[in-house]
Amino acid sequence: MNRDDGVMSDWRQRALMLEGEVAKAVIGQARTIRLINTAVFARGHVLLQGDVGVGKTTLLRAFAQVLGGDFGRIEGTIDLMPNDLIYYTYISAEGKPAVERGPLIQHGESLAVFFFNEINRARPQVHSLLLRVMAERSVAAFNREFRFPHLVVFADRNRVEREETFEISAAARDRFMLEVTIDAPATDAERRELMTDPRFHDTDRLVGALAGGLVAYQELNQVSELIQRGVQASEALQAYAMDLWRATAAPADYGVRLSDLDTAHLMLAGASPRGMSLLLRAARVAAWLDGREYVTPKDVQAVFVETIAHRLCYQPVYEMRRHEISARLMSGILSSVAAP
């Protein structure tokens, strides 16, 4: 075993320990934890879907605690402006105007997780600033450039209320590696535990009790590149991914049939090149977390929906039904495209 293999094996054990530690703070979310862990080690940003109060913030704070980096958060509101992420002003105790760093830059390079809650309540100008931070991991402020080399951005959309919201654009959605849905725990036992166990009633104490710094966040970029170089995707696997890509743009050509939809005229655009690159990047991490040095079709399928569904552009007549159509279309593509 060469040195890189030893490093990857050691980091895999730490990654699995990370999942176990986070699971102490959120119950009934094993798949969600695995998907977010996949994004962390693939160095991709995540768009979250979920109802109010299902534990999104607790989950992300738990990841930040275990990673050992700093956690930043901002709430999307109708009057939020781009500068609110960078600085805020107030009157000091001496009665003079004062300026402090905002939530995006106050932690500097140690910022590991940034959570934008209800991003679709914020205006497009705010989205634009966030997109730059996601793409370049930097922002200009106070006559200097602030860099965030270890940052992963998470954003949540309010999917219940539609008044005073600004849906993020297709281009913005495409910057997120995954869109992950977080639902309330399914079993009565898990729901009862959340409702009655006092340790879940104090989020600060709950998160603070987790082991800190199990994974050195400063090393994640390097480890991620080792994973991408070390986990192989065969020619047959690459051909399978190409067929999936083509099927997202022309599902009817691959035999995808949906009972009440004309799949030949359903799509405006399929997955982007960025999206397919991120699909393989996530699939390599999924394989690595399962202890393999090669990607299988199951690894691609495990992350396909979360990586691709939010990137697809439907014809305008179908776009309002996106939430209803996407799950069926993804299932149809995976069923119709032959795996090696």
What is the 8-class DSSP label of residue 82? T
Q: Contact 54/65 with Cβ under 8 angstroms?
A: no
User: Cα separation of 18 and 26, whole Å?
Assistant: 13
For 103-144, the pLDDT digits (tens) are: 999 999 999 999 998 888 898 999 999 999 999 999 988 888
* Average model confidence (pLDDT) across the chain: 90
Q: Where are the domains of the chain?
A: 3-79+106-223, 232-336
The single-letter DSSP state of residue 152 is E
What percent of the chain stands above pLDDT 70? 97
The per-residue pLDDT for 202 is 87
Global pTM reads: 0.91
Confirm or reject CATH 3.40.50.300 for domain 3-79+106-223, answering yes or no.
Answer: yes
3-class secondary-structure state, position 51: coil
Q: How far apart are CA 292 and CA 277, in angstroms?
A: 20
Q: Give 2: exposed, middle or buried? Use CB within 10 Å, 0-12, 13-18, 19+.
A: exposed
Same fold, 3-79+106-223 and 232-336: no
pLDDT tens digits, one per residue of 195-237:
888 888 888 999 999 988 888 889 999 999 999 999 999 999 9
**Architecture of the domain delimited by 232-336:** Orthogonal Bundle (1.10)
